[in-house]
Amino acid sequence: MLSPGEFVSFYAQVGAKKSTNSTARLFLAAILAGFFIASGAVAASTASYGLENASVARVVSGLLFPFGLIMVIVTGAELFTGNCLITISLLEKKASLAGMARNLVIVYLGNFVGAALLAAAVAYSGFSNTDLAAYAIRTAANKCALPFGRAVVLGILCNILVCAGVMCSLCAKSLPGRAIGAFVPVSFFVIGGFEHCVANMYYIPAGLLAAGMYPNLGGWLQEAGVNMSALNLAGFLGNMLPVTMGNIIGGCGFGALIWACHKK
């Protein structure tokens, strides 16, 4: 595997290329990444929605969700949260701030398209059953009801671990090593209940669509103690803004810290 110092030199070149890739290539690769991350969310939700013990449900989700990031890395797709590591290229003077910002904006939009398309497809299929639809609504409502400051902090914690997963994966020189490197940190963030903006590009649209398809579930969940008042477009934006801010702070901060510790 690469040492941390070797990783800094290696990723400086990787990030430089990411910052100059064509718009079309970045956008298409970002759609693919959004789809893969959303696929991990689908698998985690489907496997855990029937589990009554919250701790067991989180562990099951944590064991399944990371395969989305593994697919992103192996296929060379573009993920907004992982690309915050372009900070290393910026500090190594291999990429410009404008190039990094351009990459993040294009990739963010592409990730949303990929994740939202899968949310629409899952909703169109009927969520398999109404229990899974109710789980999607409850998950989305809880995310939309998060206070701004708490969402920012959960976003910071999340992307520290996601970027650590990307680093550990890219340090490996074999496919099993890359998979394990990505798996463990991402599993930790899911079990910890941290907030990932690209995953939320699936979870919240899926919940909104489920609420529209099964309006009777909203009243039942309200009676069960779920705060349904924030589950709307404003609530969606109210989650995405602080979580995205937190993801940027956590990811860029992690990249800067690794660079400061291991630069030549």
What's the distance, CA 264 to chain centroid? 31
- pLDDT beyond 80 at 233: yes
Q: What is the pLDDT of residue 227?
A: 77
- Check pLDDT > 90 for residue 246: yes
pLDDT of 223 above 70: no
Q: Residue 172 pLDDT more than 70?
A: yes
Please report where in the chains the tokens 């562990």 appear, as a residue. Answer: 59
Taking only the tens place, the pLDDT of each residue in 6-43 is 999 999 999 999 999 999 999 999 999 999 999 999 99
Q: Which residues of 67-99 are buried (b: 16+ CB within 10 A; e: fewer)?
A: bbbbbbbeeebbbbbbbbbbbbbbbbebbeeeb
Q: What pTM was computed for the model?
A: 0.93
Residue 220 in this model has a pLDDT that exceeds 70: no
Tokens 């899952």, located at residue = 122
3-class state of residue 3 by DSSP: coil
Task: Give the Cα separation of 165 and 79 in Å (integer).
Answer: 13
CA separation for the pair 206, 137 (Å, rounded): 8
As a residue count, the chain comes to: 264
Instruction: Report whether 150 contacts 238 (CB < 8 A).
Output: no
